[in-house]
Structure 1
Amino acid sequence: MVRDDWVVGGDRRAAAAERIYAAAADLVIHDGLDGLDIDVLAARVHCSRATIYRHAGGKAQIRDAVLLRVAARIVDTVRHAVDGLEGPERVLTAITVAVDQIRADPVRRLMMSSGTVPGLSELHSSPVLSSLAAELSGLTDEDPQAALWIVHVVLSLAFMPIGDSRTEREVLQRFVTPAFAR
């Protein structure tokens, strides 16, 4: 009898977790964050609930892993977009690309339309996000408040747009970039 193993080769734990997170992201896109159900997820990846918990954790851990994967894609895109830029233009580009990426991602779009984001109150003050904001905008560690402010600006624009993209860019150029002019 041939055993049909649902995770084959390599690092089985990492492969199992990745398969679970990919299926969870798909479920979140279709059913929303609140609709993420461990039984449905287990059926989707053809395993037991115990396997889900063993390889990916509970519902909160899975949700966070899905959101971290979304964030990683956004950060990579912003990092590429600001490569070689400096000063106010780098800050402006980092903000606008981050906002565009947040709005374009199906998981983020779904969360914005629901009006609730798990952990949003902690998200805006995250030292990890502030550190990424500092790196992507070209700020130094000497001004952590500037990086925190950029996180607030990005999240505010992502959840409460100001007109169209042209208007938002003009607002950012008028009010944000002067704060970073040398």
Structure 2
Amino acid sequence: MDWLAGDRHHNARERIYDAAGALVEARGFDRLSIDLIARNVGCSRATVYRHAGGIEAIRDALLIRATTQVAETVAESVKSLPADERMVAAILMSLKVVRAHPVFAAVGSSTATARLIEQTLIGSPRVPAAAASIAGLPGDDPLAALWMVRVVLGLLYWPITEIEGGEEAIVRRFVAPLFG
């Protein structure tokens, strides 16, 4: 297949992101480089820069892609639940899906984790908006969505392992009543 046929810019960018994603899964974010991406795509460094930008733009794009995949999976899993269960289920499913996603696993092993999280996930208006939509939170309360995102991130980085079922119990006891 000619990877530059049709919408050349879009095809090139997607192929670059695919190669970068595979490299991140294998080596982590800290060892990702334009040279490696270009070599794996089979193009020049200039092509990578022209179609996908620099390394930070590629990292951001990978995180946005992964976040979109997680949001779609979570939304599908909670869409038929009653309103009073959606938020709890969305948080718990988000934890499960993010923990299983290879790009997010690479974020956890990155020395640049705080910057990646802050600039790409928390700094993006898309993430809280998606969280609000998925959980059925009111659109006129951005603080609720921001809080939900931080609950998920907090549990991702400091999981409750001391008590079996502890994460669900904490979400039900301390988070759900705030939105009920």
Tell whether the structures are fold-level matches, with TM greater than 0.5. yes
Please, which moves more after superposition, 56-65 or 163-172? Answer: 163-172
Residue identity over aligned pairs, in percent, reads 43
Query: In structure 2, what is the Cα distance between the partners aligned to 1:29 and 1:77?
Result: 20
Query: In structure 1, what is the Cα distance between the partners aligned to 2:166 and 2:47?
Result: 49
Please, which moves more after superposition, 17-26 or 126-135? Answer: 126-135
Offset, 1:128? 1.9
Partner of residue 122 from structure 2, selected from 121, 124, 132:
124
Question: Is 1:124–1:155's contact at 8 Å kept on the other side of the alignment?
Answer: no
**Does the residue aligned with 1:119 lie in a helix, a strand or coil?**
helix
**Highest Rg: 1 or 2?**
1
- Partner amino acid, structure 1, of 2:134: L
**Does the residue aligned with 1:17 lie in a helix, a strand or coil?**
helix
Query: In structure 2, what is the Cα distance between the partners aligned to 1:61 and 1:114?
Result: 16
Match of 1:159 in 2: 157
Question: Is 2:20–2:32's contact at 8 Å kept on the other side of the alignment?
Answer: yes
Question: What is the RMSD of the two structures over their aligned residues, measured on CA atoms?
Answer: 1.8
Query: In structure 2, what is the Cα distance between the partners aligned to 1:55 and 1:12?
Result: 9
Q: TM-score, normalised by structure 2?
A: 0.90
Query: In structure 2, what is the Cα distance between the partners aligned to 1:69 and 1:59?
Result: 15
Size of the aligned set, in residue pairs, is 177
Offset, 1:86? 3.5
Please, which moves more after superposition, 163-172 or 54-63? Answer: 163-172
Query: In structure 2, what is the Cα distance between the partners aligned to 1:40 and 1:145?
Result: 40
Query: In structure 2, what is the Cα distance between the partners aligned to 1:63 and 1:83?
Result: 30
Post-superposition Cα deviations, 1:108-129, rounded to whole Å, max 9, x if no partner, equal 1122134642332343353222
Please, which moves more after superposition, 134-143 or 112-121? Answer: 112-121
- Partner amino acid, structure 2, of 1:64: D
- Structure 1 stretches of 4+ with a deviation exceeding 6 A read none
**Does the residue aligned with 2:138 lie in a helix, a strand or coil?**
coil
Which blocks of at least 5 consecutive residues in structure 1 are unaligned?
none
Alignment of 1:71-86 (within 5 A): 71-86=67-82
- Partner amino acid, structure 1, of 2:108: M
Question: Is 2:60–2:116's contact at 8 Å kept on the other side of the alignment?
Answer: no
Which blocks of at least 5 consecutive residues in structure 2 are unaligned?
none
Match of 1:91 in 2: 87
Post-superposition Cα deviations, 1:52-79, rounded to whole Å, max 9, x if no partner, equal 1111111111111111111111000011
Q: TM-score, normalised by structure 1?
A: 0.89
